[in-house]
């Protein structure tokens, strides 16, 4: 990892000045109202931050992280990036696309993390795009330490004479999380322009980088808006620890102010049977947003995140007290790998 410039600033217009970055995103992404969904739920006024529209290879949140990660890779002379994810990884798809854009190769390990998905699951959606971007792919069985596996590949490539750069799963380290410090800054600038004072931001939380970056960004700018993470994989306390540890490392690059653990809020009630395994609430939430706002979610991350937002409104945990923003992290490409969850259920009812 190369040395990063650490400019400890707190103004909204210069918080990331001095950090290496390459332009990969369409930004700012839109902040839109969701009037029909708001009416359907009868709760607070809902907004959506459209990070599904970041542009690269159909967009998504990982492109924000890759602006910083790929800049670091380029600065150390890398000629290939190595990363890992589940079979239908949005992160791998966006990493491979970024590598193509910057003239690098990409090597990806795909974990067969989700059981009983069938052959199409490994041939369509994100996997199809991985092949389009000429990614060198190896599949791995479930349950391995995938970052360790990818680091081993990185070392092997180095011994073969390549100049590899390792990117952790989800792009989630203190470099990648800067992408969501950038989003935090951008979102607050949009709220200022709209004279909007949101009471809550809701997002999906998985590999922790997006959640941690948002928390670190708000913290560095003195913003006290709470951020609710809907877990898509880990139990609440495990995810709180993961997010907090990364948020502390990320914030330390921006400010000397200590970060309180109570800034990390996680709801693990929408994971279901596990990562990538569909739930009825995910299917219902994904369909509800599509049919009310014409916006597509994904079955693994944003679909479960929206299920959490809807569930908390319906249960009264989120009350009708003001504006609530949902951060859409993208990933609708993976809908093609879960078609039976939506087409079959539609035919049945």
Which residues are catalytically annotated?
89
3-state secondary structure of 136: strand
- Rg over alpha carbons for the chain, rounded to the nearest Å, is 19
Pairing, β 323-328 against β 45-50: parallel
Residues 6+ apart with CB under 8 A from 325: 31, 46, 47, 48, 49, 187, 198, 200, 201, 202
Q: Name the helix (H) or strand (E) containing 326.
A: strand 323-328
The b/e string for 231-262 (b: 16+ C-beta within 10 A; e otherwise) is bbbbebeebbebbbebbbbbbbbbbeeebeee
Structure tokens at 190: 């949009």
| CA separation for the pair 61, 72 (Å, rounded) | 18
The b/e string for 194-230 (b: 16+ C-beta within 10 A; e otherwise) is eebebebbbbbbbbbbbbbbbbbbbbbbebebebbbb
Closest among 27, 33, 11 to 198, alpha carbons compared: 33
Closest among 295, 218, 300, 301 to 260, alpha carbons compared: 218
In the sheet that holds 80-86, the strands lie side by side as: 136-140, 105-111, 80-86, 164-166
> How many of the other CB atoms lie within 10 Å of CB of 177?
33
Q: Are 230 and 205 in contact (CB under 8 A)?
A: yes
Structure tokens at 347: 């035919």
Q: Name the helix (H) or strand (E) containing 343.
A: helix 339-348
């Amino acid at each position: 990892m190369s040395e990063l410039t650490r400019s400890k600033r707190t103004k909204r217009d210069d918080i990331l000045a001095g950090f290496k970055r390459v332009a990969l995103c369409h930004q700012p992404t839109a902040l839109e109202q969701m009037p029909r969904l708001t009416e359907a739920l009868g709760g607070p006024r809902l907004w959506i931050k459209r990070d599904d529209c970041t542009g690269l290879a159909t967009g998504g949140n990982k492109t924000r992280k890759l602006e910083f990660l790929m800049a670091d890779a380029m600065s150390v002379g890398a000629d290939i990036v190595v990363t890992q994810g589940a079979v239908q990884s949005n992160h791998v798809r966006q990493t491979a696309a970024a590598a193509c854009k910057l003239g690098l190769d990409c090597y990806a390990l795909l974990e067969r993390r989700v059981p009983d998905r069938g052959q199409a699951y490994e041939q369509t959606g994100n996997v199809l795009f991985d092949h389009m971007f000429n990614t060198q792919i190896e599949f791995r069985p479930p349950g391995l330490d995938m970052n360790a596996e990818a680091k081993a590949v990185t070392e092997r490539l180095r011994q073969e004479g390549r100049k590899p750069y390792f990117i952790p799963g989800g792009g989630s380290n203190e470099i990648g999380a800067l992408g969501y410090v950038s989003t935090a800054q951008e979102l607050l600038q949009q709220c200022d322009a709209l004279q909007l004072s949101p009471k809550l931001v809701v997002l999906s939380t998985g590999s922790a980088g997006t959640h941690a970056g948002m928390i670190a960004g708000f913290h560095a700018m003195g913003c006290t808006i709470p951020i609710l993470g809907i877990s898509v994989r880990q139990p609440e306390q495990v995810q709180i620890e993961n997010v907090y540890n990364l948020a502390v490392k990320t914030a330390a690059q921006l400010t000397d102010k200590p970060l309180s653990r109570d800034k990390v809020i996680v709801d693990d009630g929408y994971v279901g049977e596990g990562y990538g395994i569909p739930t009825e609430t995910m299917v219902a939430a994904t369909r509800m947003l599509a049919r009310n706002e014409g916006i597509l979610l994904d079955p693994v991350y944003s679909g479960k995140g929206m299920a959490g937002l809807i569930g908390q409104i319906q249960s009264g945990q989120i009350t009708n007290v003001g504006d609530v923003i949902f951060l859409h992290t993208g990933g609708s490409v993976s809908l093609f790998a879960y078609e039976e969850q939506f087409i079959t259920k539609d035919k049945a009812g």
